[in-house]
Amino acid sequence: DGGITQSPKYLFRKEGQNVTLSCEQNLNHDAMYWYRQDPGQGLRLIYYSQIVNDFQKGDIAEGYSVSREKKESFPLTVTSAQKNPTAFYLCATHDELGSYGYTFGSGTRLTVV
Amino acid sequence: AQTVTQSQPEMSVQEAETVTLSCTYDTSESDYYLFWYKQPPSRQMILVIRQEAYKQQNATENRFSVNFQKAAKSFSLKISDSQLGDAAMYFCAYRIADSNYQLIWGAGTKLIIKP
């Protein structure tokens, strides 16, 4: 089955640590996105990539970094510079036209301990 | 600027009744797509229904239908025969019909189903 997989489902981070969230897709899509969702709120765009080896900052990129070395993978690193990283993180992708909306992963819940 | 507004932070409906969720958007584009997504307690985002702006006919998916008013820039979601499994956050989203453009999201409406 084609789809998009995020791991881990739950992640705990100590103060000052960097952590990396995984996002893998086997849909052969070029475009991939990372969103942050805080409780009771909508989605805010962190980073996106339209093609391998290229990515763009979204609305809230500070304290985050990404890479896009392979088409199927778009990992997100939450750095120690992100002061309030506790949130739910969603990865998404869409096909070339995007006319059928995004396909989402099941998300990663990150908690600072 | 392109924006999507969902004016109802929370709605409740009796099981088996009908409920309508509101969404308005602001754009100067003529060719775009509109979407409704559902996010149940599992937090998995699920596409409910989509509408292409050039189509006048309102989209329908089983118990879910939209009222698309292009001139008014309105895209409401009607859920008929509400079921307990419909309880979720519902997000309206908009996208220009071009692969370089992202989805613009509304803030969401929490739908509560009363048994």
Question: How do residues A61-99 score in pLDDT, each as one tens digit?
Answer: 999 999 999 999 999 999 988 889 999 999 999 887 667
pLDDT tens, residue by residue, A7-40: 999 999 888 899 999 999 999 999 999 999 998 7
pLDDT tens, residue by residue, B51-73: 999 988 999 999 999 999 999 99
Do the beta carbons of residue B9 and residue B107 sit within 8 Å? yes
Residue ranges in chain B whose pLDDT is less than 50:
none
Q: What per-residue confidence (pLDDT) applies to B2? A: 77
Q: What per-residue confidence (pLDDT) applies to B75? A: 97
Does B95 sit within 8 Å of A107, measured CB to CB?
no
d(CA A1, CA A9): 20
A98 touches chain B (CB under 8 A): yes
Do the beta carbons of residue A50 and residue A30 sit within 8 Å? yes
Residues of A in contact with B33 (CB under 8 A): 98-99, 101
Residue carrying the six token digits 């937090």: B43
